[in-house]
Structure 1
Amino acid sequence: MSRPSKRTRDNLQSRPNEPLPPMEAVNAVKQFKAPKFDQTIGVVVHLGIDPKQADQALRGSIALPKGIGKSARVICFCQPDKVDPVKAAGAIEAGGEELVNKVKDGWFDFDVAVASPDMMRVVSPLGKVLGPKGLMPSPKAGTVTPDVESAVKEYSAGKQEYRNDDGGNIHCIIGKSSFSAEDLAENLTYFIDTIEKIRPASSKGTYMKKCVISGTMTPSVQVAV
């Protein structure tokens, strides 16, 4: 097993031991010795839900107020008259059965798939290949919608889909290390508030058990929630 680098050891020594308010947690992450590239800053919340219960499964989408510093490659399954408008909105590919066949043949060079409701009849067979990759369009995530142009524009600009994993955790990007502490803290607070608002009615006990933020190659810091 390789020995941690000096930078990693120094960062672990300076990491706070107690949960911190959002702004202080962000400042702690930004003060770590970081690699030369612009790190992605992410958040993970561990929730007191039972992921096996359908009424406690959480899934949705979120557009953070300060963006996330990156764009997404979006495709759109739509009728012919929508192809040009959605491409103008930012879609890298758009179409109907021909796009479905392209994906069936193994093309997955995209991050988000959007579809209009009337296209789901031809898109649904892709569930077996897109579902396991988390790319299947879904009404809950806002990726199945009549307003495909707006959806493409929002996801291209960094809107994110989220869902809980089998351990009851939700992951989300809140920005880049080059963001100001104020912008990162605003995004973090917005994310926490959003997750609080979607608490399932059947969830008992402590809902938000733990929240941590971290950079791509720096330690995590616990956030007080």
Structure 2
Amino acid sequence: MATTKKAKAFAAAVDREKLYGVDEALTMVKDLATAKFDETIEVSFNLGVDPRHADQMVRGVVTLPKGTGKDVRVAVFARGAKAEEATKAGADVVGAEDLLEAVQGGNIDFDRCIATPDMMGLVGRLGKVLGPKGLMPNPKLGTVTMNVTDAVKAAKGGQVEYRVEKAGIIHGILGKASFAQDDLRANFDALLDAVVKAKPTGAKGKYLLKVAVSSSMGTGIKVDPASTGKSI
């Protein structure tokens, strides 16, 4: 019954055919996030790309200026001094062969994975496990690095990865429903700027096709791409 009532409330509040301005949409999604927990606010960008072609892949990292509101657990594959450095920087899980065995056994208790370059021979064995989860360390994303301290702090401080899916859609986190609307907007702009700058050379025609925001338990609210200032 509660679900039905909530669905009716969403239906009454949101015009599914209307395109809302960014600020209006963010205000609405906050107001409609009425669950008993602090719902995550998410955004979806539908791009004019076909990621099946290598020259149309959109992927990267961006630091959300207001953070994610989430306690990000970070794992680091490192040995010796670099392992100690990772621990001091705040990594939650640090190891080498022992961490490899844990992951192979299905114990993936982390949200981001970092590795020093010398560990990639070991980490490469986990490609089939970490790859599908988007956790495989990648030098292009700054997660294969000797600068372990900065990588861990970035992951803890609001840095998120984005990657276009088969249907040309990127899903991203903007924060929590408890965030101020201005903070959600700052994170929205940062993520969108990064996605626009990552426009691949193979993308032809309009790039930003559709935008929508939603909360964990809420309905999607369509955003007018023109209101983002990035309708390209």
TM-score by length of 2: 0.90
* Counterpart AA for 2:158: G
Instruction: Name whichever of 18-27 and 111-120 sits farther off.
Output: 18-27
Indicate how the Cα distance of structure 1 residues 33 and 93 shifts in structure 2: closer, same or farther if over 3 A, else same: closer
* Counterpart AA for 1:117: P
Distance 1:214 1:37 in 2: 15
Secondary structure of the corresponding residue to residue 132 of structure 2: coil
Runs of 4+ in 1 over 6 A off after TM superposition: none
Q: List runs of 5+ in structure 1 lacking aligned partners.
A: none
* Counterpart AA for 1:176: K
- Matches for 1:77-116 after TM superposition, within 5 Å: 77-116=77-116
Distance 1:35 1:107 in 2: 30
Query: In the alignment, is the contact (CA less than 8 A) between 2:44 and 2:211 conserved in 1?
Result: yes
* Counterpart AA for 1:14: A
Secondary structure of the corresponding residue to residue 18 of structure 1: coil
Query: In the alignment, is the contact (CA less than 8 A) between 1:11 and 1:218 conserved in 2?
Result: yes
Distance 2:186 2:141 in 1: 22
Secondary structure of the corresponding residue to residue 75 of structure 1: strand
Distance 2:112 2:33 in 1: 33
Secondary structure of the corresponding residue to residue 20 of structure 1: coil
Partner of 2:11: 12
Count the aligned residue pairs. Answer: 224
Secondary structure of the corresponding residue to residue 5 of structure 1: helix
Secondary structure of the corresponding residue to residue 25 of structure 2: helix
Partner of 1:159: 159
Distance 1:108 1:4 in 2: 32
Q: List runs of 5+ in structure 2 lacking aligned partners.
A: 226-232
Post-superposition offset of 1:36: 2.1
Alignment partner of 1:190 is 2:210:
no
Indicate how the Cα distance of structure 1 residues 33 and 179 shifts in structure 2: closer, same or farther if over 3 A, else same: closer
Secondary structure of the corresponding residue to residue 127 of structure 2: helix
Partner of 1:142: 142
* Counterpart AA for 1:71: D
Indicate how the Cα distance of structure 1 residues 81 and 167 shifts in structure 2: closer, same or farther if over 3 A, else same: same
* Counterpart AA for 2:84: D
Post-superposition offset of 1:156: 2.1
Post-superposition offset of 1:33: 5.9
Task: Return the structure number with greater helix share.
Answer: 2
Post-superposition offset of 1:59: 1.6
Instruction: Name whichever of 109-118 and 173-182 sits farther off.
Output: 109-118
Secondary structure of the corresponding residue to residue 140 of structure 2: coil
* Counterpart AA for 1:6: K
Instruction: Name whichever of 144-153 and 14-23 sits farther off.
Output: 14-23
Distance 2:105 2:190 in 1: 39
Distance 1:119 1:176 in 2: 35
Instruction: Name whichever of 143-152 and 205-214 sits farther off.
Output: 143-152
Distance 1:155 1:3 in 2: 37
* Counterpart AA for 1:204: K
Partner of 2:228: none
Percent sequence identity over aligned pairs: 42
